[in-house]
Structure 1
Amino acid sequence: MIQRVEIDGGVVVGVDSSASSARALVVAAEEARRRNTTLHVVRAWSLRTAPRPADCPPNAVPSMDEFQQEVRADTERIVASKLGEHEGLPVEFHIVHSPSPQALLSASKGADLLVVGHRGRGGFAGLMLGSVAEQCVRHAACPVLVVRPNV
């Protein structure tokens, strides 16, 4: 399983199933187009956050590879629904079995820009920034753009 993300330039965006990350994805794609560079879509997952493979029987436990494939397919669906065909924009997927902050911070070491939503799937709605966004702002090795929701 991949646990770190290593890239060489481009715009990195953290994606999960939250509305905040969907907005960050759109903004990151705009930035990548402006910069004429690759969009790197990072999806970190754990057994707790991974979608269950639809073809897995109810009493069976999916393998790590099956979870990895399902997370990739889910991420590709999210990107397609928000960006369409993304013509002319090179997109690379990085599906990582890792905590989100570690995956995004490792990607930031080679990125030109890291884009994150202001809040992900965590449970503390009253926070100004989600814990992942806050860790990225504090520790990323490149500039970080935190995307707020449309108001």
Structure 2
Amino acid sequence: MDRSSGGRDRILRPVIRQFDLKDLPAIVEIDREVGGGYSPELFMTFHEYHPQTMLVAEAAGGVVGIVIGFKHTPLEGRIFWLAVKPAHQGRGIGRSLLSAILRIFSRLGAVSATLEVRIGNRRAQSLYASMGFVVDNVIPSYYSDGEAALIMRKIL
């Protein structure tokens, strides 16, 4: 490890793989840490219906991130959720997960991908924009707390 950087900003090379049932406790913990509020049943439903597009990132000896997506239409992939444990954010894990799911969408025949992001989540918006996503729409009061969502789209 490069001691001069303190390790915090070091890019991790996560192993990206499909979600497995044994990952459920780690995913529930990530959800709790990032305030997602999703139920384990939702994760199980995605695993049942969309196993190809439910990926986890392993690094530092455990599961530290997840991306969940699905084919929204025959030509469009939809990213439902991307989350990285707060202690591992800013190290390239979200970018690795996003890149992996976009490659899968392309292999499945999608020509574009969409996602929504809180209008106040500038960090996520910056990641998405750096990967070619552009704002396609704004939906006022999209989230349960009344915050608006940006709909972002990328041509694959």
TM-score, normalized by the shorter chain, greater than 0.5: no
Larger relative contact order (Cα-Cα within 8 Å, sequence gap ≥ 6): 1
TM-score by length of 2: 0.29
Query: Between Structure 1 and Structure 2, which shows a larger proportion of strand residues?
Result: 2
TM-score by length of 1: 0.30
